[in-house]
Amino acid sequence: MTTSASSRSDVLPPPSERYTLLGWFRKNLFGSWLDALLTLIALAFAVAILVPTVRWATTSARWEVIPNNVELFMFGSYPRDQVWRLWLCLWLLALVTGMLWGVYVRRRSFMSLFLIALPVLGMLFTFASGVWVHYAAMIVAGLAGWALARWRPRLMSSVALVGTLLFFPLVILIIRGFSEESFLPGVATNLWGGLMLSLLISVVGIVFSFPFGVLLALGRQSNLPAVRTLSILYIEIIRGVPLITLLFMGQVMLNFFLPSGIVVDRVIRAMVAVVMFAAAYLAENVRGGLQAIPKGQYEAADAVGLSGFHKMTFIILPQALRAVIPVLVGQFIGLFKDTTLVALVGLLDLLGIARGVLANPAWIGTQLEVYLFLAFIYWIFSYAMSYASRRLEVALGVGER
């Protein structure tokens, strides 16, 4: 942890043993008879799983179910003539990511990795014609963001942060649209679906739960007994019940709680439940950040004569929130995986669409193909995000100050 990279590189590594291939095998696979036995068992296990899987995937699997339904999987029944709005969101994402990368990671090798990963991810979105234009635009946007950040690092670091914060509400606005006559005609939430809906629910969950979560975390730390008790009650009750019961409650009861005449649709109801759920977990994560702040910071703020509000907004929260950014990314990944539960209350997210496709007589019996594809998509996204969060953690220097 404390050894920095520069001081480590000054010291030559100890001379390595001279490895031959056989020597490597003996050391790492057949060290003792027990080791050899383990190796053989593991090898047999891997072969027993891999061989039939590969044989199935290359011969009898009906992979055509994926390309034939890819638009459904990606954005459900979103109006096809409005799909360019989703692409616009992806361009913006590329721009913001490029800027963040330029500001925080800086290394060119990672940038190229990102440029390869982006079209691959984009490829998942649609195989329709004209798609390459969008990939090119995304690459240009990413490069432009990166170049901007390298050109004026100091200015762009704040631009990138503000851009990241504005990005999520902006995406919701672009996808939701406004009135019928406007440039962006409104698209009702019941038309949202597929991977887009899964991503949006998790984005809404994190973004809208953020203020509540921070307030709850502060409330739990507060020395006012009434505030503290209420916060603890909320957090512990929500964390003690499964998300599915909250989603169920949102679906059947939310409209009862609203004044008569106001009816919200299923997607909004699910989003409300997800926000309630995420707020409790976010509060606990932020509390972890608050507790990591040394007591001296609080005392120093008191000593300078800052009021409680100023102490929090200028001294404590900026440090605490910075420390929990990687944890929040982790929570976002978890939430992204948890959004699959909305399929159980009848929403058409990625999983809901998959179930719909499987109910189509043309695709009966393709459960393996479809669910493997789903698992692959979720895996790619979660893994990519956790990789990025690990980089971010290093870049932000969390735990080093």
Partner 1 sequence: MTTTSSEQHAVPFWRDERYLQVLAQILVVAIIAGTLYYLANNLVTALAAQNIPIGFDFLRLTAGFDIGESSIAYSRASTNAQALLVGVLNTLRVSFLGIIFSTILGAIVGVARLSNNWLVNKLAGIYVEILRNIPLLVFLIFLYSAAFVKLPRITEALELPGPIYLTNRGFFVPWAEPGDGWSTYRWVLWVGLLVAIVVAWVLRRQGQRTGRMPLILLWAPLAFVVVALLGWFIVPGQPLVSSIPVLEGRNFTGGNGLTPEFMAVLLGLVVYTSAFIAEVVRAGIQAVSKGQREAATALGLSGFQTLRLVILPQAQRVIIPPLTSQYLNLTKNSSLAVAAGYPDVYAIGRTIQNQSGRSIEIIALMMIVYLAFSLGTSLFMNWYNKRIRLVER
Q: Is residue 165 near partner 1 by the rule CB under 8 A?
A: no
> In this complex, which beta carbon is closest to partner 1, that of residue 26 or of residue 107?
26
CB of 317 to partner 1, least distance (A): 19
185: helix, strand or coil: strand
* 7, HSE (Cβ side, Cα atoms, 13 Å): 4
Q: How far apart are CA 26 and CA 34, in angstroms?
A: 13
**Of 71 and 369, CB closest to partner 1:** 369
Q: Which is nearer to partner 1, 157 or 340 (CB)?
A: 340
Residues 333-352, mask of contacts with partner 1 (x by CB under 8 A): x---xx-xx-xx------x-
State the DSSP H helix or E strand holding residue 59, giving kind and residue range, or none if neither. Answer: none
Q: Is 29 in the site for partner 1 (CB under 8 A)?
A: yes
The correct pick among 16, 58, 130, 256 for binding partner 1 (CB under 8 A) is 256
**Could you give the CA distance from residue 227 to residue 218 in angstroms, rounded to a whole number?**
9
Q: Does 332 bind partner 1 (CB under 8 A)?
A: no
- In angstroms and rounded to an integer, the radius of gyration of the C-alpha atoms of the chain is 25
Regarding 367 and contact with partner 1 (CB under 8 A), the answer is: yes
**Comparing C-alpha atoms, which of 167, 222, 230 is closest to residue 200?**
167
Under the binding rule (CB under 8 A), the answer on residue 278 touching partner 1 is no
How many angstroms separate the CA atoms of 214 and 284, rounded?
Answer: 9
Q: Does 285 bind partner 1 (CB under 8 A)?
A: no
Binding status of residue 31 toward partner 1 by CB under 8 A: yes
Under the binding rule (CB under 8 A), the answer on residue 263 touching partner 1 is no
Q: Does 237 bind partner 1 (CB under 8 A)?
A: yes
Taking CA atoms, 321 is separated from 38, 276, 329, 333, 334, in Å, by 46, 20, 12, 18, 19
Nearer to partner 1, 283 or 374 (CB): 374
In three-state secondary structure terms, 379 is helix
**368 is a contact residue toward partner 1 (CB under 8 A):** yes
As separate numbers, helices (DSSP H) first and strands (DSSP E) second, the chain gives 18, 0
- With CB under 8 A as the contact rule, the residue among 53, 245, 291, 313 that binds partner 1 is 245
Judged by CB under 8 A, does residue 215 bind partner 1?
Answer: no
Contact 76, 197 (CB under 8 A): yes
232 in contact with partner 1 (CB under 8 A): no
257 binds partner 1 (CB under 8 A): yes
Smallest separation (angstroms) from partner 1 to the CB of 378: 5
User: What's CA 79's distance to the chain center, in Å?
Assistant: 25
Q: How far is the CB of 311 from partner 1 (least distance, A)?
A: 14
Report in angstroms how near the CB of residue 152 gets to partner 1 at its nearest: 36
Smallest gap from Cβ 319 to partner 1, in A, equals 24
113 near partner 1 (CB under 8 A)? no
Interface segment toward partner 1; rule CB under 8 A; list 34-42, 87-95, 99-107, 140-148: 34-42
Looking at beta carbons only, is 259 or 296 nearer to partner 1?
Answer: 259
Contacts of 343 (CB under 8 A, 6+ apart): 349, 351, 352, 355
User: What stretch of H or E contains 122?
Assistant: helix 108-125
| Chain CA centroid to CA 150, Å | 26
DSSP states along 137-166: HHHHHHHHHHHHHHHSHHHHHHHHHHHHHH
Assess 221 for contact with partner 1 (CB under 8 A). no
Residue (141 or 275) nearer to partner 1, CB: 275
Q: Which of 260, 295, 296, 305 is in the footprint of partner 1 by CB under 8 A?
A: 260
* Coil/strand/helix, residue 370: helix
Q: Write out the DSSP string of 19-30.
A: P-HHHHHHHHT-
First-to-final CA distance of the chain: 11
**Which residue in 371, 391, 396, 398 binds partner 1 (CB under 8 A)?**
371
How many binding residues for partner 1 (CB under 8 A)?
A: 54
Binding site for partner 1 (CB under 8 A): 28-29, 31, 35, 38-39, 42-43, 45-46, 223-227, 230, 237, 239-245, 248-249, 252-253, 255-260, 333, 337-338, 340-341, 343-344, 351, 358, 367-368, 371-372, 374-375, 378-379, 382-383, 386
